[in-house]
Structures are given as C-alpha cells and as structure tokens.
A and B are shown apart, each in its own frame.
Chain A
Amino acid sequence: MLLEIRQQYTFFGILLYVASTIFVLYMSMGQPEPAVWNGLFWMIQLFICVNAVAKSFLAESKGRILYFYSIAGSVDFILAKLLFNVLFMSIMSIISWILFIVLLGNPVNYAGRFLGINLLGGISLSLVFTFLSAIAARAQQNAVLMVIMGFPVIIPQLMLLMRISNVVFSDVLQGGLWEIVLLLTGLDMLVIILAVILFPFLWKD
C-alpha cells in the first residue's frame, strides 16, 4: 500500500521547486538576520507543504480512488497517506534546511535541537494538510478551499514553531520550550485520531 503511493509522486518536481525558491530568496536577501531567517524558513516550509502534501488527495483521479477503495480499508488508506506525507515532509524539511545553510547562512546555534523542531514542524504541517485535503477533495474549487480551511488552523502552529525555534538562535535557554513541544505533539496526535475516526465517513461515496 505504502509503496504504491510512493511511486506516483513527482518527488524531484517538488525538490526543484524548493531549490529554486530558496535560490530566489538568496538572490534577493543575501544573508539575513536570524529573525528574518527564521520567518523565511517557516514560510518556505508552509508553501512546500501546500504544494506537495495538499495535492495528495486532490491530484488523484476518480478511477484511482475507486481502485484504492476496492483494495484497502478506509483506515488503512488514511494511515498510509498520513505516514507517507509525514515521511515526505520530514525529508523535505531536512533538504530545505541544508539548502538554507548553503545559501542563506546558518545562524543556528544548537543544530540538534533545531533538527528536532524542524522535524516536528514538518510533521505537524503535513498531518493537518493531509486531513484537510481529504475534506477539500470532496468539494468543488478545492484548491481555494484548501487555503481557506488550512490557514487559520496552521497560523497557531506556525506561531508556536517560530517561537520555539527562536530558542536555537540565542544562547539563553528560555522556559516553556517543552510545554510548547508537548502541545504541538498533542495537536498532532489529535489530528491523527480525528483523521482515523472521521475519514471513513468521507470515504464512503
């Protein structure tokens, strides 16, 4: 099941997209301040996510959905999609971080900690967008809907992520870091549980 989904993705297309966006940023910004770097980084993450993950349901043709419907249960299907998108987004976050280091400089003081935050952010974004794209795929004009539904949900997540990733730029360790990490992880679990419970209703069509 997983392998099947994995094949159909235009992995290199997205990769090219990431690389060219970051290159354009480099051309216009040079080496920005840590705060700007942080903001840009999460914005790029967001747009990668919208472009790659959000398409996961929208890009499927009717015939293919029918095929999946016949070979797999709804819970297996949504779990496979979530898992795939999480992996995909984690790889993408790491690649874009490497590109950021190469082109825009590296203001990060604690690499390990930032790696963790980075992965957490990628996972959170991909989970939310996978679930929302499953909903939006049921409606017309789904690309617009995706954005309308996604952004209010994503704003608090991004706010939290930017807040905790500020920690790695300064030498002083701020309190409340673990609280926010826990909150984000909790949110992720919540989205997974909701997706598993609610997806069967969307699937029967």
Chain B
Amino acid sequence: MRKTWWKIVCIILLIYTVVGGFLFSVPAREILHETIRNLYFHVCMWMAMMVLFTTSVIYAIRYLRSQNLKDDIYSVNFAKVGIVFGVLGYATGTVWASYTWTEYATSTQIFKEPKLLGAAIALLVYFAYLVLRGSITDVDKKAKVSAVYSIFAYIMLFPSIWILPRLLESLHPGKEGNPALNFNDLDGRLRIVFYPAIIGWTLLGVWITSLKIRLDLLKNKNILHG
C-alpha cells in the first residue's frame, strides 16, 4: 500500500482530466473554439515525454559512472516509453492541426512548419537510438555505447524542439516562451484541468515504465546476478 498511492492518484487525475476535459466550460477563442480541449492531451504528452527522457538520461549517466546493468535497463525503458509519448504527442497534434490550421494555411505551409520538423527530428534521433541498440550484440558494449548516444540524443533535443522552432516563423503558438505555462494566455478554467492533467499523464508514463523495467529485470535475472 505504501508504494501504490501514486498509482491511485494517477488514475484519479486521469479520470478527472478526461471527464473535466470534455465537460467543463472552456473559454471561446478565435479559430480554436472547442478544440482547445486538446490542450489537456497534446501538451501533456510532450511534457510527459520530456520528463521520461530526462529520467532516461539521468540513468544513462548513472550507468556510465557505475557500470551497473540495472541502470541501463532503467535508462532504455524510460527512453522507449518516452518515444511512445512523443508519437502520441505528434498524433494528437495532427488531429488538432487538422481542425485549426487547415482553415487558413496551405499544405506546403504546414509541411514546412518548423515545430513539426523539429519534433520529427527529435523522434528520429531517438529511433536511431533503438536501431543502435539493436545492432550491438554484446551486452556490456551495448549498454555503454547506447548510454553515450542517449546523452548525445538528449542534448540534441534542445536545439531541435526548444531553440530552433523559437527562432523561425511558425503557425504553432509559443514563439515567445512556453504558451501553456504563460499565465496571461491561459484562462483559469483551463488551468484547473491542465495542471492535474500534466501530473496524471506523467505518472501514467512512469507507471508503464516501471512495469516494463520489472519485466526486463526478471528476464535478465541471470545476467544481473552473475
């Protein structure tokens, strides 16, 4: 019971997010209208992804310091679930864009959209991480090389999703700082669902990861304990 409280919190928050997200009143905005409810899903996915990738890179650094294979398993699973959240963030973003941008932007404008490209590149870098892991057979070498690469990949996230899109013209909001955290931009009615939603989705990500880690630890039991 001691360790399960956060799972219960996660479930309650997510139920609240879905129910509140679809039923509570939202401010009426130009172009966005009711699609603003996607804020509770789309933005939260990216936030959860960042948290998972950050945890992954922390474990990668720990692995390089300790050479303990457990840290490698933690690191790779956080990265994998982070990728899933990234793909979901992309998917929810596509849905959102198809209801809003298509009203006034041409398709070439959308394809050249720097934020989309940046996010696609970030995900490709992480896919390359999985390919890299797949191509090395030796366990220790795999762990070492992929830890090095995952630090590199994490650093590459910053130019591709944080810095570069801020410099270029974009249809996507958020050129001047993070729009979701900007207090003037975000109505109180949105905030009471949005903040719990971030926590809920992140906890869900951590939960999935912890299950995957436990499975992997069991699979590799004979390697881990000599």
Contact = CB atoms under 8 A, between A and B. Distances in A.
B84 interface: no
Interface stretch (A13-21, A81-89, A106-114, A146-154): A146-154
Given A135-B145, A153-B156, A183 B167 contact: yes
Contacts of A190: 155
B145 A140 contact: no
B167 A176 contact: yes
B224 to A, nearest CB: 21
Interface residues of B, number: 28
| Secondary structure class of chain A's binding surface, majority of residues | helix
Contacts of A145: 128, 131-132, 135
Category for how many chain A residues contact B: 20 to 34
B151 interface: yes
A149 B124 CA distance: 8
A152 B145 contact: no
Nearest to A141: B135
Contact of B144 (A141, A155, A202): A202
Interface of B: 64, 117-118, 121-122, 124-125, 128, 131-132, 135-137, 141, 144-145, 147-149, 151-152, 155-156, 159-160, 163-164, 167
Given A135-B148, A149-B131, A179-B167, 14 more contacts: A135-B149, A140-B135, A149-B125, A152-B122, A156-B118, A156-B121, A156-B160, A156-B164, A159-B117, A190-B155, A198-B64, A198-B148, A201-B144, A202-B144
